[in-house]
Structure 1
């Protein structure tokens, strides 16, 4: 198993992982379709942002991506794992790689918008909730989380 930089041609597979992972949390197929634009990873996105995949036996089973902001701040944009691998430590493996990469790059703060049902996952890794915003689903709020490095 290894973590490697994504290639633009991985975009279809990463989009599939994103949609399957999101559906794992109980969202309907209609909701996944409504979010299609936000859940689609394009070749251009991979070319223009750091995207790293978790590969097991030549199969991509998860990935993360981020982008840099001002003042040595980074936003974790995506972290998704195929549903059959959720809850088995692979998300933590990806996050530990990401956090080490951010330390190596001298990042001072990481922010992210968490899937509401994944908030505890990020809290266990040391992130703190600093706010929230209502999503397109009434009474569903996305936690805004951050971590100082």
Structure 2
């Protein structure tokens, strides 16, 4: 029988395992070690993300994290940002991302948000497009000088 996963809120004790998950997922897109070193600080999960945002993780029956997603709400209280969304490379294609996204959307609607934005990794742009986001422009990378990322939005 295939292993299953459940979704729960992230806790401070999950921080290092989530950082590892984010790094492994990002590198699975074919990025080399030098690129990953430049992204390491930006991808490192911070305590404030867990304490101040809606941050969920998908985990196996043994407690291993296999995906995560994070929602932050803007000061205007009506827009949000998809800040973190990663799936373990071995779990991609097994509905982890879709299930996390459903929890993310449910919470966004509970908060009466009208729009969600995100700066997507170019490799993830098709996934987000499939989830209803539209590319509206480009935004500078937070960790790679001269690189830009697809800026995407979803109207709720």
| Bin of the TM-score, shorter chain as denominator length | over 0.9
Deviations 1:57-76 (A, max 9, x none): 12211111121012500001
5 Å-filtered alignment, 1:59-74, equals 59-69=64-74, 70-74=76-80
Partner of 2:10: 6
**TM-score when normalising by structure 2:** 0.88
Deviation at 1:17, TM superposition (A): 0.3
What RMSD in Å do the two structures reach over aligned CA positions? 1.4
Could you list the runs of 5+ residues in structure 2 that have no partner in the other structure? none
Shifted more, 11-20 versus 43-52: the winner is: 43-52
**TM-score when normalising by structure 1:** 0.92
Deviation at 1:43, TM superposition (A): 2.5
The partner residue of 2:108 within 98, 102, 108 is 102
Q: Note if contact 2:7-2:59 (Cα within 8 Å) is conserved in structure 1.
A: yes
What SS class does the counterpart of residue 36 from structure 2 fall into?
helix
5 Å-filtered alignment, 1:43-62, equals 43-57=47-61, 58-62=63-67
